Amino acid sequence: MKIKNYLEDIVREQVNRILVDKKNICTCEQCRLDMMTRALNHLPPKYVVSQRGHVHTRLDELTTQFQADIVREVIKAIRIISKRPRHK
């Protein structure tokens, strides 16, 4: 059994979903992880106990307000990281 931040999977999905439409910014692994980290650091964590590291995560189990907060932080993180990637 492990403790896991439920938001990690949700934020990863949202970053990937939004980046599909962004052709003009870097979407490498490092930038994606930086975007995820920034968004997660700006959202309250939601810890759950998981069996074998697997958690069934669904955005629609969260309140509408929390979903909106997640999407807003992900969009902000993408904007900020894409302006200043940590690599050349």
Torsions phi, psi of 51, nearest 5? -90, 125
Closest to Zn ion by CB, 56 vs 87, is 87
Torsions phi, psi of 6, nearest 5? -50, -30
10 binds Zn ion (CB under 5 A): no
Shortest distance in whole angstroms from residue 9 CB to Zn ion: 21
Shortest distance in whole angstroms from residue 19 CB to Zn ion: 11
Name the E strands within 1-88.
2-5, 47-50
Q: Which of the residues 14 through 73 are near Zn ion (CB under 5 A)?
A: 26, 28, 31
Candidates 22, 48, 54, 85: give the one binding Zn ion (CB under 5 A): 85
DSSP letter (8 states) at residue 6? T
> Which residues of the shown chain bind Zn ion in the complex (CB under 5 A)?
26, 28, 31, 85
